[in-house]
Amino acid sequence: MEREARTLLQDVQGAITHIEAFTAERSLADYQQDVLLRSAVERQFTIVGEAVSQLSRRHPDVAARITDWRDIIDFRNLLVHGYAAINDRLVWETANDDLPVLRREIEALLAEG
C-alpha cells in the first residue's frame, strides 16, 4: 500500500478514536444538549469523510474496500454543506452503530501493509 493511502487510513482511524472517546459513557440526550460535544463529533466525522474522499480520488482500489465509502463521503458533505439539516439522532446512531464496522475495516487494511 502506498504511503499516502496509509496516512489517509490512519487519519480515519484517529478520527474514529476521537469520536469514540468523545461519546463514551454519553447518551443521545447528552449529545443533543451539548453543543461542544456535537461540534467535536461532527468535526471528526468531516475528517473521516474527507480522508475517504481523498482515498476515492487518489487510491480508488483502497477506497473500494471500505463498505459504504460513497455514503461516508455523502455524510461528510451533509455535515459541511447541509449543516441546517443535520439530524442529531442520525449522527449519534452513525457514531454508535456504523463506526465499529468502519474501524474494523480500516484496521484490517492497515494490517495488510
Coil, helix or strand at residue 96? helix
Per-residue pLDDT tens digits for 24-75:
999 999 999 999 999 999 999 999 999 999 999 999 999 999 999 999 999 9
pTM as predicted? 0.94
Total count of domains within the chain:
1
Residue 46: which domain range? 3-112
DSSP result, 57-82: HH-HHHHTTSTTHHHHHHHHHHHHH-
Per-residue pLDDT tens digits for 14-28:
999 999 999 999 999
DSSP result, 12-51: HHHHHHHHHHHHTT--HHHHHH-HHHHHHHHHHHHHHHHH
Asked whether residue 113 carries a pLDDT value surpassing 80, the answer given is: no
| Other beta carbons within 10 Å of 69 | 20
